[in-house]
Chains A and B, each alone.
Chain A
């Protein structure tokens, strides 16, 4: 079946530090992969996505590369800011299993000045 595993949190970083949040997936078909971000008190927002192997999604300085060989989609940012403090969710969608999304458990990031 389909599932997503992402690194446990919480993660605390100093401003301008490098961020990596690991995400691996299991899928029966050819999934699209997503990172969503949830700011305090809000719903989830799409951060970036990649629809096929070797694609790189990017937005707001965040990047993730769809690695089929390692079934991974790790989120990275070179220099985090206090405003990046949020919960980050990795997710997959597989057209072969309808329009459902499969979410990881979320990783809480706190960036301190």
Chain B
């Protein structure tokens, strides 16, 4: 069955370190998204991609970057981790403007 996976599921890092969160989908979807989930804010869009080599900034993109070198993967990089980036991160994919499919999430703690 097609699926979307994220790794690691849990990560503890220190302020200033570079961190990369992986997202891999086997749906063969063109569209992929990164969100962060924080209490009181729901899900906020960080970056998204509509295809290989396409990337776009979302609502809260400062301090984050993505690259899309193939259809299946959209890694999210925190260039220099900050305590404000402690959050739960979700990756999602979709074929069209209908129905996004979500990964299980990565819980990141920045000390």
Contact = CB atoms under 8 A, between A and B. Distances in A.
Given A42-B104, A43-B104, A103 B97 contact: no
A112 interface: no
A39 to B, nearest CB: 11
B95 to A, nearest CB: 9
5 contacts: A43-B103, A44-B43, A99-B31, A99-B50, A101-B33
A100 B45 contact: yes
Of listed B31, B33, B99, residue having the most chain A CB within 10 A: B99
Interface of B: 31, 33, 35, 40-43, 45, 48, 50, 58, 90, 92, 94, 96-105
Contacts, number: 54
Given A44-B90, A104-B42, A34 B50 contact: no
Given A94-B97, A98-B50, A99-B96, A105 B42 contact: yes
A106 B42 contact: yes
A8 to B, nearest CB: 10
Of listed A45, A93, A94, A100, residue having the most chain B CB within 10 A: A100
Of listed A49, A93, A99, residue having the most chain B CB within 10 A: A99
